[in-house]
Amino acid sequence: MSTLKADTIQSTGGGAATLTKQSAAKAWINFNGVGTVATRGSFNVSSLADEGTGAYQTNLTSATADANYAVAGSAGGGGPPSGCWHTTGFNANSYNTSNTTSSFHQQIYYATTTVADTQFIYSSLNGDLA
């Protein structure tokens, strides 16, 4: 049996290596969904769109192999009642549209029935890259 040890793995071009056919998250995002939406940090995300109250579209830099991936996430803080800290329910792919190989949609709910813009939204995508 061989052992591979490394501190850093890079692509042949010198940048980060792309993970394929592995169980690691293929994309993630941490963003503010109140007012002008703003990404705090992300991986494999090219842009973010505000689609209305509590609704967001995350666009991927590298496409997935198909639209049969899994999106998981959580959200909280800053929604109704205004300025209060609370926990919200998170439901991915509920914004009356389907996910594609290059984007996914999120709908944020407060108290499970009311859509709400929220300060802290976290999402990750697991699946295979194209």
Dump pLDDT digits (tens) for 32-74. 998 899 999 999 999 999 999 888 999 999 999 998 888 888 8
- What is the helix (H) or strand (E) element at residue 121, kind and residue range? strand 120-126
CA distance 67 to 100: 5
Q: Is 95 exposed, middle or buried (0-12, 13-18, 19+ CB in 10 A)?
A: buried
This prediction has a pTM of: 0.76
Do the Cβ atoms of 29 and 90 come closer than 8 Å? no
Q: Is there a contact between 56 and 119 (Cβ–Cβ < 8 Å)?
A: no
Q: Would you report the helix, strand and coil content of the chain in percent, each value rounded to 5?
A: 0, 45, 55
Per-residue confidence band for 81, with pLDDT thresholds at 50, 70 and 90: very low
What's the CA angle centered on 85, arms 81 and 48, to 5 degrees? 90
Contact 94, 44 (CB under 8 A): no
Residue type at position 101? T
Res 97: pLDDT:
64
